[in-house]
Amino acid sequence: MNTSVAALCLLLLLPTWSAQARTELPAPPHARVTTVSTGTKAMGMQLRIRRFETRQSVDEVLAFYRKRWKDHAAESRMPPWRMIGQLVDDEYHNVQVQARAGGGSWGYLSISDLPGQARQHRYTLANPGKGFPRMGGSRVLDDQSNRDPGKLSRTLMFSNRFSVASNTSFYKRHYQGLGWRVLLDEASAAQGQGHVLTLARRGEQVTITLNRVAGQTRVVANHEQAKVLGW
């Protein structure tokens, strides 16, 4: 999968612009910005996408948006990408960023209307979340599969009312009970507001990012499966 397609798939993961709310998503300070699309339609939702490059590091870019959005931002990791986003009325503003060769960073700024579409019951998925473990009452927001040479990946996003800690315990019990090894188990935000888990067994790896947003826990899970992987 080329970089442009991979980037678009990542953008589609998060609740993401209502016709009435045209609030712009600011670029990081001193960034060079180019337009990718002013109105792409994908999977029934509208996307506006811009690309940026900056001398600021990934951490500096994330710090800029954390300060701007305060406690309303959701963060996730899908290596090599780091993502941070916020609901703005019926839109979702999302920033994804990674390190740039030679220093600094680059990434994408996207605005989509998925939250508004979902509230009006205009956006549905066929068999969303089928076969993937999740706590009772979880609402699936996205479920995508991509096949690259030698590897099949699936990315899901859903939310529920259980705490980050409860979701974390659920996934550790589930996967460790099936013989998976924990590779990463760490907090990604203070006061139990975020956590990242990575578990693996031969040929498979799953990374689960959990964030507490607006009274719910938002879960992004990325599952990769290959014939032979050195995990």
Q: Which two tokens stand for residue 187?
A: 């907090």
Q: What residue type is 44 in one-letter code?
A: G
Structure confidence by residue, pLDDT tens digits, 130-158: 889 999 999 888 777 766 667 777 888 88
Distance CA 161, CA 163 (A): 7
- Stated as kind and residue range, the H or E segment containing 66 is helix 58-69
Question: Topology of 139-226 in CATH?
Answer: TATA-Binding Protein (3.30.310)
Structure confidence by residue, pLDDT tens digits, 47-95: 788 999 999 999 999 999 999 988 678 888 777 889 898 887 778 888 9
Binned at pLDDT 50, 70 and 90, residue 231 comes out as very low
Q: Is the pLDDT of residue 22 over 70?
A: no
Domain with CATH 3.30.310.80 in the chain: 139-226
Q: Is the pLDDT of residue 230 over 70?
A: no
Structure confidence by residue, pLDDT tens digits, 159-204: 999 999 999 999 999 999 999 999 999 988 788 888 999 999 988 9
Q: Identify the pLDDT of residue 170.
A: 97
Q: Is 192 helix (H, G, I), strand (E, B) or coil?
A: helix
- Stated as kind and residue range, the H or E segment containing 46 is strand 45-54
Q: Which two tokens stand for residue 205?
A: 């790896």
Q: Identify the pLDDT of residue 41.
A: 58
Q: Is 169 helix (H, G, I), strand (E, B) or coil?
A: helix
Q: What is the mean pLDDT of residues 1-9?
A: 38
Q: Is 203 helix (H, G, I), strand (E, B) or coil?
A: coil
Q: What is the pTM of this model?
A: 0.53
